[in-house]
Structure 1
Amino acid sequence: MKKLLSLFLLSLTSFTLQAVEWQEDVHYEVIADKASAKPQVMEFFSFWCPACNAVEPIVKQMQSRLEAQGVRFDKVHVNFMHFATPETQEAATRAMMIGKVLKREGELNQAIFDRIHKQRGHIVSEQDLQAVFSASGVSTEEYGKMRDSFGVNSLTAKNNKWIDEYRSKLTRGVPAFIVNGKYRATFTRDMTPDQVIELVVWLAGQK
């Protein structure tokens, strides 16, 4: 029992030291003078981005951790990548918001990622996105009805407003994590997936 307690305390101490050791300009950058009133993490990403696809399993764990602690998590789909036309990227943003309104965002986002990166299918038009959703049980009629709905329009406008607001802070590309509107997480090559998550969770607690 004493040995188990000692191991637990040691691990707890190591975790605390790890949190204290996060360094400005090494593990994160300060991009604003003031933090948001409430904690929020925004992941700026693109469905076409190979790195975004690769980190998606980590992001899902991160989102679960953050939301369990009452931290808002938002995926922001960017429209300035060179893998697809601006119109197709905008259509993908709307598709993501359709999934959000349907409360199937995670599942349908994964379907888009898989079509591009696993199945090597081309998404070059809105019709291609409709086909992905149709294969996931969302009819073309339902897709079309929701595409220009008030809810999807509002969410898409908010997504694009965040892009305009933080575009100058995304010079290193995506995925990028903006925390509390004040910090941009920086991941070093030697960090484990758990450390990536811990860094963002820790930043969410900073003011």
Structure 2
Amino acid sequence: MAERRRGTELENALLEAAWDELAENGYAGFTMDAVALRAGTSRPVLYRRWNDRHELVRAAIGRALDRDRPEIPDTGSLRGDVLTLMRELNAGRAQLTTVLSIHLAGYYQETGTSPADLRGAFAKGGPTRSDVLFTRAAERGEIKLEQVTERMKTLPFDLLRHEFLLTFAPVPDEMLVEIVDTLFLPLVRP
């Protein structure tokens, strides 16, 4: 007889099952029953933690974002930092971006929210990764921080997300280099 999971172990198993269900079947096929079956538990176990499937979806996404959060690189150059971060995101975020954008269309419609709202709900307090990267670049004299807008800071990552949504797959490395060298760096360098 298998030992019962409890506490953090059980919650992690439930959130992993919920994430897998979202990734494979999208929000349209996401039910508490399906998650309970996948996790090898019962619906009451889920309902003791989350009131409805909207709460469970948000919790599963929050866990996926935390689990796949890359470290802030420090390569010694803005180019190296942005490319390193893009490569890390590229390796682990194609599925997450697809789920957040495509598979959750019904969720956004039901809740009156958008992917930006959902991402914003999980934003950590304090400086963002790009804030850290750009502050370091300014301290090294690579850029003038006051001349770099928020849109400029997010451009390479927005383009990466756009490519994910066009292909549902990781982006070829040469395209990442092109985004950084041809589009991004000429905008932010004085």
TM-score interval w.r.t. the shorter chain?
A: under 0.3
Output the TM-score relative to the length of structure 1.
Answer: 0.22
Output the TM-score relative to the length of structure 2.
Answer: 0.23
**Structure (1 or 2) with the greater strand fraction:** 1
**Structure (1 or 2) with the greater helix fraction:** 2
